[in-house]
Amino acid sequence: MFKHTRTAIISILLATSFSTGGTRIATADSKLPDPATAGFAEKLYRLDCGHSLANDESVWTPGENVGRSIEFSSTCWLIKRGSEWVLWDTGVPQSTMNDPNGWSTLPKLIVYHLDKSITGQLAEIGLKASDITYVAISHTHGDHIGNVVLFPNSTVLMQRTEYTWISSPDGPNDNVNQLKALARKLMGTPKQLKLLDGDTDVFGDGSVTLIATPGHTPGHQSLLVHLKNSGFIILSGDVVHSEDNFARNIVPSLNTDKAASIASMARVRRVMATYQAKLFINHDKAQTDTLKLLPAFYD
Ligand SMILES: [Zn+2]
């Protein structure tokens, strides 16, 4: 359940401390939790949700690395908070597992492979799909929503802007049009869909917060989780694809809005500073390979 009242009270308190106390939380971040009083999630697990090979890195680094191939990781995350579970992104469709030809969102550009299923990884720690309370998705590209249909009893959390966008008329970029068509197919019609309007405190206690970071797609979001020992961690979604792009403010050509993408990267930097947060970058294979993998977890 969403704690609307509590969220509202916290928002009012934050707004108050804002106008009277001149806190360090910038206006644009006013809906985010107070780092000093935010609650905790107990566990954060990384799931292996596929890996991919693209034949032209310059799509992600315009003007550089033309024709060079690049490998990406695909990562899903599972958060335990009390007796509830949040799955963040769902990866490549598991129906394509072990297919030697792989699977693609844009056939001329990128091929994904999946070695492990989400449901198999959940089973490793004793969970079934029906145990997942929320499936929160960063955005509607196929490598992030490929398994939403496996969780018909979970509440899907996504930005309203994103949901509206995938059904909007096609634009000039054919790659983007293809991705939208695939998104409509993979999303289907979730039984329990909660459309969000901007930043959202999922449990009303600051332990898990969805942060609006548009630009890669119109309703893209990232996730801020608070853990007792590990502190605050930001799960990127695709707000950025690599540590190098983040350091140099580089925006992939597939992104729907370059200026918004740069603003969202700036927002992530601000959140990292306010919360002393680490940033886990979904597709950065070099970084991902250094992170714990289920059954290991962050706490
Ligand atoms: Zn992606």
* Tens digits of residue pLDDT in 225-246: 999 999 999 999 999 999 999 9
Is pLDDT of 92 > 70?
A: yes
pLDDT score at 28: 57
Q: Please write the tens of the pLDDT for every residue from 100-148.
A: 899 998 888 999 999 999 999 999 999 999 999 999 999 999 999 999 9
Ligand 1 centre distance from Cα of residue 24 (Å) = 32
Ligand 1 centre distance from Cα of residue 216 (Å) = 9
Is pLDDT of 259 > 90?
A: yes
Residue 214: name the closest of 280, 262, 269 by CA: 262
pLDDT score at 175: 86
Is pLDDT of 16 > 70?
A: no
Is pLDDT of 23 > 80?
A: no
- The two tokens of residue 22 are 């001149």
Ligand 1 centre distance from Cα of residue 92 (Å) = 10
| Beta strand pairing call for 110-113 and 278-280 | unpaired
Ligand 1 centre distance from Cα of residue 41 (Å) = 25
| Whole-angstrom distance, CA of residue 149 vs CA of residue 44 | 22
Is pLDDT of 36 > 70?
A: yes
Q: Please write the tens of the pLDDT for every residue from 151-194.
A: 999 999 999 999 999 999 999 888 889 999 999 999 999 999 99
Ligand 1 centre distance from Cα of residue 84 (Å) = 26
pLDDT score at 208: 98
Is pLDDT of 51 > 90?
A: yes
| Beta strand pairing call for 221-227 and 231-235 | antiparallel
Query: Quick one: pLDDT band at residue 7, thresholds 50, 70, 90?
Result: very low
Is pLDDT of 9 > 80?
A: no
pLDDT score at 20: 33
Ligand 1 centre distance from Cα of residue 191 (Å) = 24
Query: Quick one: pLDDT band at residue 10, thresholds 50, 70, 90?
Result: very low
Is the overall model pTM greater than 0.85, yes or no? Answer: yes
Is pLDDT of 70 > 60?
A: yes
Ligand 1 centre distance from Cα of residue 74 (Å) = 7
Ligand 1 centre distance from Cα of residue 135 (Å) = 16
pLDDT score at 78: 98
Ligand 1 centre distance from Cα of residue 275 (Å) = 25
Ligand 1 centre distance from Cα of residue 272 (Å) = 21
The residue that leads in pLDDT, 250 or 19, is 250
Is pLDDT of 290 > 50?
A: yes
Mean pLDDT of the chain: 90
Which residues are bridge partners to 41 per DSSP? 227
Q: Please report the DSSP string for 192-260 in residue order.
A: SEEEE-S-EESSSSSSEEEEE-TTSSTT-EEEEEEETTTEEEEE-TTS-S-HHHHHHT---TT-S-HHH
Ligand 1 centre distance from Cα of residue 231 (Å) = 25
Q: Please write the tens of the pLDDT for every residue from 191-226.
A: 999 999 999 999 999 999 999 999 999 999 999 999
